[in-house]
Amino acid sequence: MVLEDKNGELLGARIAADGQWRFPEGGQLPEKFITALLEFEDRRFYQHHGIDVRALGRAMKQNLTAGKIVSGGSTISMQLMRLSRKGKSRSVFQKLIEAILATRLELRYSKKELISLYAAHAPFGGNVVGLESASWRYFGKQPDLMSWSEAATMAVLPNSPALMHPGRNRAALIAKRNRLLKRLFQQGKIDQFTYQLAKEESLPEAPLPLPQYAPHLLERAYIEQFKNKKEKRTRLRTTIDPALQERCHDIAKYQHKLLSGNEIHNLAILVLDIETGHVLAYVGNAPNTGAAHSEAVDIIQAKRSTGSIIKPFLFAKMLDDGYILGESLISDVPTHINGYRPENYHRKYSGVVPAKRALSRSLNVPFVRMLQDYSVEKFHFGLQQMGFTTFTKTPQHYGLTLILGGAEVSLWEVTNAYACMARTLNHFQEHNGLYDLGDFRGPTYRSESKSKPKSTLQGESEILSAGAIYETFEAMLEVERPGSEGDWQQFQSSQKIAWKTGTSFGFRDAWAVGLNSKYAVGVWAGNADGEGRPGLVGVKAAAPILFDVFSLLPGGKWFEEPHDEMVDIPVCTKSGYRALDICESDTLTVPLSGLKTKACSYHQLIHLDAEEQFQVNSTCSSTADMVHRPWFVLPPLEAHYAMSRDPSYKILPPFRADCDGASASGASQQPLQLIYPKDINQIFIPTNLDGTESATVFKATHRKTNAVIHWHLDDTYLGSTTDFHELALNPAVGEHVLTLVDEQGFRLERAFEVVE
């Protein structure tokens, strides 16, 4: 099979099943070769009808004079018949049969077709068949770039390929070539200067390897054609941009050297044209990786753990369905859900975080909570709508891990999903606010494919609205990642690119996908065998490759805002939800679906005394003496973490002592009480009979039945208890602080020391 780029140049070729290097028919023949071939084999090719009587007569005379066969007198048509009748002897009887068949061949094919057939099937020594494969194997170039010397060499080789292989009998081959060059000079086909230069050219030393600019794409095309029994073609023109493919190949080679220092041996690069869906570059694996590190594996097709690379899809879905706005606060606290305990990358929590910030920082806990609110079933179905075929198990099988790498995708499908979103957004303006159902479709590397199906326009999107897509891409413009000191650093590219990285559990997969209005680029780095490596994270291993590739691409303009899909609404500046009358608000432009989002639930109106130090109510103060203030109130657990991160957060003032309800917050009426350890400051670790250390059971009680208590040890969230508040712990030797927080925000702290 032969693979060509979009210009018809060779990308790579696969040896035939019979072990022969053979290119399919149809390549353009250079005039130099035709001229040399006819001069050497069949001067009256255009005058006879398959049999050259004069040539046969001359051959018979030469053979009788020599006493052996020294000339056959066969025409090109007769030689074609001999090639098609493999294994037949070269007797007079067989030559007579070939002559008869040659006349029939001349009636069926034109002269141009006959020369093409001969050039495609003639033997050129060794396992090389056909002019095109011979030109690449011997000269390392396509036939139309051959010199006169090379064309003459190709013309004489089929006459005796077993003896005239360039690797041996060089003197005989040079002599035969030069005799043909002399005849061409004598016939006026070449001038003397060309003749002299051509004679000085040397022969190739040995067959050269064929170009392999896209070996994994070649293998993919071969396998897909093999599966498609109706397709018999062995020459395929692709959509690959040759210059971009070569540069991406060089980037992969360079970056592989850097990554291999950390025992990271594989990477892949895919570049798509957003408008057409054409594959412009396809680097299935790092070059020179070697068989020991699975160089032959096409990573672009491989199913790998998603890490965080699909988080923007959930963000877009929740925007589109009116669950959130970009600035809506999402809970970011230690979380236990039916035994599942997600954690952020640095195991730190902010209490609450805007959804856009959760996306830019790729925080795990907020996205697990978002998926829980949205439902795994809806998200699973939405991903399948977007063209993912790898989510083959039920939503229940994946559960909430779906958003953090509990499922697998291929670089092919995930890059295309982002490209389809961009295409939808581009076309929304072109189609005057209508959606094209064909915008979500698979990419193609075949140049003859109908890359743009007939448009089917409708008023609403079945997958994602333009407003939700635009808001998602805006959120993806800036990516934040924790630095070595734990602070957040912002990463921005030199051109406007929406991008996202991902890292799978165990540092096995590093992802980076980026796009503008014209191109989508996907990158994966890791080890094909699944071995994890420290430092194998998307922003460090894959993102540099992503931006190297974008530096090769023309800068695309940023997306136009889809005004018909956007609306201005008042949004609470604190919570990011639709504003209440008591909220401080800003007017923000949000997707139309933002009108369906819930109003702010974090603000409440409280009543304070004249000094605004205590809460009061009608049992202890007249309404005339009350000061009414809107107050931003977070749930207790969120407030606990928010206070450590945000000094401006103010907890609710306590009730004044003379008010009903004061008991709910008074120290003497503390609803939380620690049973063990209560008054002691030191705990001795109990030892089991077998000598192992036993767990220490911590116990607490709460005044309210069915109350939920959240347990923390040294700022690490341990879990929550209901009804029976007991927790078995194994704290290390040393000093610790145990903190308990209930649903109302009451907290209890106890310092203790564990002693051996």
Instruction: For tokens 């061409």, name the residue.
Output: 184
Is the Cα dihedral 520, 525, 529, 535 positive or negative?
negative
Token representation of residue 354 = 């805007």
Instruction: For tokens 């079945």, name the residue.
Output: 462
pLDDT at 668 over 50: no
Using one digit for the tens of pLDDT, what is the confidence trace for 190-236? 999 999 999 999 988 778 888 889 999 999 998 888 776 666 667 88
Per-residue model confidence (pLDDT) at position 723: 77
Residue 548 phi, psi (nearest 5): -60, -40
Residues 6 or more apart whose CB falls under 8 angstroms from that of 707 comprise 671, 722, 742, 743
What letter represents residue 735's amino acid? E
Residues 6 or more apart whose CB falls under 8 angstroms from that of 597 comprise 322, 323, 324, 325, 328, 577, 578
pLDDT at 714 over 50: yes
Q: Show me where the domains of the chain are located.
A: 8-200, 304-443+454-496, 566-596, 603-659, 670-755
Per-residue model confidence (pLDDT) at position 497: 92
CA atoms of 41 and 52, how far apart (whole Å): 11
Per-residue model confidence (pLDDT) at position 482: 56
557: confidence class by pLDDT, cuts 50, 70, 90: confident
Fold agreement (8-200, 304-443+454-496)? no
Token representation of residue 687 = 């030892």
Per-residue model confidence (pLDDT) at position 417: 98
CATH class as words, domain 304-443+454-496: alpha beta
The mean per-residue pLDDT over the stretch 552-568 comes to: 91
The mean per-residue pLDDT over the stretch 110-123 comes to: 89
Which of 238-242, 446-450, 544-548 has the lowest average pLDDT?
446-450
Per-residue model confidence (pLDDT) at position 409: 97
Per-residue model confidence (pLDDT) at position 663: 45
pLDDT at 529 over 50: yes
pLDDT at 667 over 60: no
pLDDT at 331 over 70: yes
684: confidence class by pLDDT, cuts 50, 70, 90: confident
CA atoms of 546 and 267, how far apart (whole Å): 11
Percent of the chain with pLDDT strictly greater than 90: 50
Asked whether the beta carbons of 291 and 380 are under 8 A apart, the reply is no
The mean per-residue pLDDT over the stretch 395-413 comes to: 95
- Give the residue with greater pLDDT, 56 vs 259: 259
Per-residue model confidence (pLDDT) at position 665: 41
Per-residue model confidence (pLDDT) at position 126: 82
Short-list 659, 682, 692, 694, CA closest to 751: 682
N- to C-terminal Cα distance for the chain?
73
Fold annotation for 8-200: Penicillin binding protein transpeptidase fold (1.10.3810)
33: confidence class by pLDDT, cuts 50, 70, 90: very high
Average pLDDT, the chain: 87
- Give the residue with greater pLDDT, 123 vs 636: 123
Verify cis geometry, omega within 30 degrees of 0, for the bond prior to 677.
yes
Per-residue model confidence (pLDDT) at position 485: 45
DSSP output for 533-561: -TT--IIIIIHHHHHHHHTTSPPPPPPPP
- Give the residue with greater pLDDT, 81 vs 311: 311
Short-list 201, 204, 121, 122, CA closest to 161: 122
Asked whether the beta carbons of 717 and 735 are under 8 A apart, the reply is no
- Give the residue with greater pLDDT, 292 vs 248: 248
Residues 6 or more apart whose CB falls under 8 angstroms from that of 332 comprise 344, 349, 350, 351, 352, 353, 358, 363, 365, 366, 638, 641
Is the Cα dihedral 591, 597, 601, 603 positive or negative?
positive
pLDDT at 487 over 70: no
- Give the residue with greater pLDDT, 169 vs 452: 169
Q: Are strands 682-684 and 747-755 parallel, antiparallel or unpaired?
A: parallel
Residues for the chain: how many in total?
756
The mean per-residue pLDDT over the stretch 131-155 comes to: 92
Per-residue model confidence (pLDDT) at position 337: 80
CA atoms of 94 and 81, how far apart (whole Å): 10
666: confidence class by pLDDT, cuts 50, 70, 90: very low
pLDDT at 73 over 70: no
Is the Cα dihedral 337, 338, 341, 344 positive or negative?
negative
Instruction: For tokens 């977070």, name the residue.
Output: 634
Token representation of residue 448 = 């003859």
Per-residue model confidence (pLDDT) at position 70: 47
Residues 6 or more apart whose CB falls under 8 angstroms from that of 31 comprise none
Token representation of residue 324 = 């959130």
DSSP output for 193-218: HHHHHHHHPPPPSSPPPPP-SSHHHH
Percent of the chain with pLDDT strictly greater than 70: 89
Instruction: Please return the burial class of 361, using the count of CB atoms within 10 Å of its CB with bins 0-12, 13-18 and 19+.
Output: buried
The model scores a pTM over 0.85: no
Instruction: For tokens 């809107």, name the residue.
Output: 630
Is the Cα dihedral 627, 628, 632, 633 positive or negative?
positive
Name the range with the highest mean pLDDT among 135-139, 163-167, 479-483: 135-139
The C-alpha angle 615, 617, 619, rounded to 5 degrees, equals 130
pLDDT at 98 over 60: yes
CATH superfamily, domain at 670-755: Immunoglobulins (2.60.40.10)
Using one digit for the tens of pLDDT, what is the confidence trace for 641-664? 888 788 888 888 888 888 875 544
Instruction: Please return the burial class of 446, using the count of CB atoms within 10 Å of its CB with bins 0-12, 13-18 and 19+.
Output: middle
Residues 6 or more apart whose CB falls under 8 angstroms from that of 523 comprise 267, 268, 269, 270, 411, 511, 512, 513, 542, 543, 545, 546, 549
Q: Are strands 128-129 and 21-22 parallel, antiparallel or unpaired?
A: parallel
